[in-house]
Structure 1
Amino acid sequence: MTDVKSGRVTVHSKLTAVSNSPVRPGKSYPLSVLDHAMGLHSLHVVFYFRQIESNDFDLGRLRESLSEVLTYYPVVTGRLKRGEDGNWEVKCNDAGVRVLNAKVSTTLDEWLRSADGSEERDLTVWDDMPEDPDIWSPFRIQINDFEGGGLAIGLSCTHMQADPLCATLIFKSWTDSYRGVAITHPPFFHPPGFRGRTSPITNTNSTKYYAAKSKLEPPSSAKMSTATFCFSDTMIKKCLSELHDQCPDATPYDLLAALFWSRVEHAKSLTHDRTNSLSICIDFRKLMQARFPFGFFGNALHFSLVSSDSREMDEGGLGYVVGLVNRHFSSLNEEEFWSAIDWFESQKGEGGKFAAPFRMYGPELTCINMEHMIIPSWPSWSTHVSTCQTLLYAAMFEKDKKPVHVSYQVGNVEGEGLILVLPSPEEGLGRSVMVTLPEDLTAKLCDDPAILRLEPTMLLSGRR
């Protein structure tokens, strides 16, 4: 069996991985109100490893460790179905995860330099959910071998079942199992965790935003393209130092969200005296007073809107926009998160069926904050100095062989596009920014002098 996905990616085998331990018959897992809200989107993550290739693996151990870790994730090996109330749930029947093996007819370095976002999707396997998903695998894995060494493993799933942190933890748990160490962040399944309150409050900034967002017309479809900008620790520190007087508490996310937002607006070449808006997406697991476990499985994302007059953005410069983003984050609180959940619950129809989903990533420009992927490690007993671990780059099949790059894409992004601010493989404040925008805007950003001033390394931009 040979399945050519593109000119450079060829699938040569397929199998289904199941868990080692059968699931108790009749077990099901209802999806939460926030899970249902993500119904229009899918999630695709690719981990790139330079030092290893599939021949370096004990393939038997690779499959065995995947089966071991899937025992902890019955919702991953199950199948979607409609419950009696019409809402989605997972039938935990251990039907398994589709796994593909593929060959890439170029080197890893050449791929990162010359592939674009569309071609990168060939490293992940995905088919949209059919009308009857009874035998459809909502989680899929593709293992890709590069010429001359190097490996990319792509994980795809429905966004209804997992957000970026969940997908990353599945992969991290797999690498833990492969290396024979304890799973660092085991999954925590608790569907009622995000359920509307008995005394809901639906008159907050968040509920007003979601209500307006749900009524927006579908955007006109424009051809989208992607590019990744990698910024060094040195340049981020330098830029934050320059902005210290205007915004002393600015974070790398504040800086990069503001920079790319302002440059996208500048690239549009529209008239002055308009309102520019940015939808900001954050993970709020650790922002609740009663914090949810890091391994909470399901969607824990909150979207909010920051806006500014275009003339003020132009006259205030980058420092003004950085402060705007920073103050917006400071204004977010637990009441905003709960009120959003209350609002989604209030939209239920007859019999308790959740309302049809609408596009969450869009139609306005959306920027995802992935800073929560950087987690503190326990301090060393000898030094008593705490350190930080970047979850993405702690996913290692072999000791000390961390990924050289991790890429995230969200399916069904239209409208003004998407910006992701990600941790970098470099320790410190280094960050990667991945954009999915109308292709004319992506091209302009790749040549934008305000961005190039920070001397980014360009990856996956399609520039050969």
Structure 2
Amino acid sequence: MAEIPYTCKRTVVSTKPVQPGKRFPLSVLDRLMEPRHLRIVYYYRSGNPGRKAGEWTRTLRESLARTLTSFPKATGRLQRDGEGRWEIECNDAGVRAVEARARGSVEDWLRNAEREDELRLVHWEEMFDAPYFWSTFYVQMTEFEGGGFAIGLSCIHLLADPICATMFIKAWADMTLKAQLAAPPLFHPLPKRQPGHQNEPNHNTSLINHYKSSINTPSPAPGAKFATLSLSFAEPIVRSCVAAAQPVDQHVHWPGLSPFKALAGLFWACISKVRGNREGLVSMCLGLDVRKLLGLEREFFGNCMVYSNSLHAGDNEEDNSLPGAAKAIGEIMAKLDKNGVMDLIGWLELNDISHPESARSLNFPELLFLNLEGIGPHTARFEHAHSPIQVSCYFEPPCGQGQVVILPSATEDAPMSRVVMVTLREDELAKLLEDDLLKSFSPTILMGVNRNRA
């Protein structure tokens, strides 16, 4: 597809200055995500086809400035504290905003876009030698000449997880449509253990062991070319998948089998077979939001996803059928409890290394599954009659073994419908589309390999 010319690149600052000297220290969960960044794109049809070029981006720019008043963490800059750890100095430096125009309509774009095309809708710049001048958040507003627009947000994962990123876009939409935020973000530290707490003698330490393994595993050398396949599963198909993921034993039924467990089980089983595992499953980990588990508000702004895996590479002989994979995922999720997460946070803080040259990060040596079922994309409305028609989320750079992101469809009247974004090596994606189990559910290809045959 053609390049997207930028019409303007500027810095947008909040309409209300932040309190001088305010700083936000970053948590141990924040600092582990430093090497990565997020890119999210929301697509919308135009509510006013006769609007002049640039008129809508001007409206969005003005509402963005008002939104940033509630997000001082996004408008600040990174600096080191006295112990060498990253923190945010709230200096009202603002976010970088890019305005662009694309040919055709948003529908035309979505019919032809591939991974590299979509990433051009989300401006991003890597941090180099001067973090104090580098924007940690970027927004891109792309107007389509034939109607429609795209909102792109990118940010360093050090400051925000995908829940926060979608929270920011929802707040921006609320400010544009209603001139106020329905749920302002909350900035406070992660919860602490109560004094005198003692770990249970037989408490499961698999979460800490998984973090130890991931932290100590070197980052894979770049080399393989990744591609992304985006699939839509309508509500009836998701219900069929949930039914097919039930145990073979007819005397057992899992009433709590969620769309995420069923779809993650489906793709775990299929990718394992693509990689030649005829009986077992490849090693994987789950990225799960733990705000509710820790008793935190949904509006908590900061990294609050935990990556859990009780199955280590080479040790996994689980049944690679759909019911077997879904059962294994359910067991991993069931083992994740508040005590285990609090123990992990305590262990990370106890073993925190402040020197920049010794900083540690999660390297994700396994296949990663991200559960984004709770983001509610259809609520991000910039205009009364128009919720997004499609949403994409990228976790960058891709994990060495690939990743699967499961998020709700933007369709408001079908709450069980899902979009699954699979990022793997190009040759693996082509094989995945030929898998009989996946084909039996007939998902719609939104973007990716050999799309035209869907």
* SS of corresponding position for 2:128: coil
Please show how residues 264-303 of structure 1 align to structure 2 within 5 Å.
264-270=271-277, 276-288=282-294, 291-303=295-307
Shift of 1:346: 2.2
Shift of 1:53: 7.1
Shift of 1:197: 7.1
Distance 1:437 1:101, change over 3 A: same
Whether the 8 Å contact between 2:269 and 2:281 is mirrored in structure 1 is no
The equivalent position to 2:427 in structure 1, one of 440, 448, 452, is: 440
Q: C-alpha separation between the residues in 1 aligned to 2:212 and 2:165?
A: 28
Please, which runs of 5 or more residues in structure 1 have no aligned partner?
1-5, 374-390
Alignment-derived partner of residue 237 in structure 1: 239
Q: C-alpha separation between the residues in 2 aligned to 1:273 and 1:74?
A: 51
2:15 corresponds to which letter in structure 1? N
* SS of corresponding position for 1:225: strand
The equivalent position to 2:228 in structure 1, one of 226, 229, 237, is: 226
Matched, 1:204 2:205: yes
Please show how residues 282-361 of structure 1 align to structure 2 within 5 Å.
282-288=288-294, 291-307=295-311, 312-314=318-320, 317-349=321-353, 356-360=359-363
Q: C-alpha separation between the residues in 1 aligned to 2:57 and 2:145?
A: 18
1:284 corresponds to which letter in structure 2? V
* SS of corresponding position for 1:372: coil
Alignment-derived partner of residue 39 in structure 1: 34
Distance 1:133 1:178, change over 3 A: same
Q: C-alpha separation between the residues in 1 aligned to 2:190 and 2:352?
A: 18
Alignment-derived partner of residue 268 in structure 2: 261
Q: C-alpha separation between the residues in 2 aligned to 1:147 and 1:200?
A: 62
Shift of 1:63: 2.1
Distance 1:238 1:88, change over 3 A: same
* SS of corresponding position for 2:216: coil
Residues 273-282 or 164-173, more deviating: 273-282
1:212 corresponds to which letter in structure 2? S
Q: Deviations over 1:131-183 (max 9, x none)?
A: 22111111111111224111111000010111111111111111111112541
Alignment-derived partner of residue 20 in structure 1: 15
1:305 corresponds to which letter in structure 2? N
Distance 1:58 1:122, change over 3 A: closer
1:10 corresponds to which letter in structure 2? P
**Alignment TM-score, normalising by the size of structure 1:** 0.87
Q: Deviations over 1:358-410 (max 9, x none)?
A: 234x221000111222xxxxxxxxxxxxxxxxx21100011130000111001
Whether the 8 Å contact between 1:277 and 1:307 is mirrored in structure 2 is yes
Whether the 8 Å contact between 1:47 and 1:403 is mirrored in structure 2 is yes
Q: C-alpha separation between the residues in 1 aligned to 2:142 and 2:184?
A: 26
Distance 1:76 1:311, change over 3 A: closer
Distance 1:274 1:63, change over 3 A: closer
Q: Deviations over 1:21-77 (max 9, x none)?
A: 111221111111111010010011100002347937554432221111100111111
Q: Deviations over 1:302-330 (max 9, x none)?
A: 0111438666424xx21121111112211
Q: C-alpha separation between the residues in 2 aligned to 1:161 and 1:197?
A: 26
Q: C-alpha separation between the residues in 1 aligned to 2:334 and 2:227?
A: 32
Q: C-alpha separation between the residues in 2 aligned to 1:67 and 1:128?
A: 23
2:407 corresponds to which letter in structure 1? L
Whether the 8 Å contact between 2:272 and 2:280 is mirrored in structure 1 is no
1:266 corresponds to which letter in structure 2? K
Q: C-alpha separation between the residues in 2 aligned to 1:243 and 1:167?
A: 31
1:440 corresponds to which letter in structure 2? D
Q: Deviations over 1:101-157 (max 9, x none)?
A: 112234322322322212211111111111221111111111112241111110000
Distance 1:355 1:294, change over 3 A: farther
Q: How many residues align?
A: 434
Q: C-alpha separation between the residues in 1 aligned to 2:87 and 2:211?
A: 24
Q: C-alpha separation between the residues in 2 aligned to 1:273 and 1:239?
A: 21
* SS of corresponding position for 1:287: coil
Alignment-derived partner of residue 193 in structure 1: 190
Alignment-derived partner of residue 369 in structure 2: 367
Alignment-derived partner of residue 377 in structure 1: none
Distance 1:83 1:453, change over 3 A: same
Please show how residues 37-436 of structure 1 align to structure 2 within 5 Å.
37-52=32-47, 55=51, 58-190=56-188, 192-194=189-191, 204-221=205-222, 222-244=224-246, 245=250, 247-248=253-254, 249-270=256-277, 276-288=282-294, 291-307=295-311, 312-314=318-320, 317-349=321-353, 356-360=359-363, 362-373=364-375, 391-426=376-411, 427-436=414-423
* SS of corresponding position for 1:9: coil
1:398 corresponds to which letter in structure 2? E
Distance 1:197 1:267, change over 3 A: farther
Whether the 8 Å contact between 1:114 and 1:461 is mirrored in structure 2 is no
Q: C-alpha separation between the residues in 2 aligned to 1:356 and 1:53?
A: 49
Matched, 1:458 2:445: yes
Shift of 1:460: 2.1
Please, which runs of 5 or more residues in structure 2 have no aligned partner?
none
* SS of corresponding position for 1:154: strand
Distance 1:174 1:114, change over 3 A: same
Whether the 8 Å contact between 2:288 and 2:307 is mirrored in structure 1 is yes
Q: C-alpha separation between the residues in 2 aligned to 1:118 and 1:337?
A: 36
Q: C-alpha separation between the residues in 2 aligned to 1:94 and 1:200?
A: 42
Shift of 1:96: 0.9
* SS of corresponding position for 2:153: strand
Distance 1:196 1:129, change over 3 A: farther
Q: C-alpha separation between the residues in 1 aligned to 2:66 and 2:179?
A: 12
Shift of 1:274: 6.0
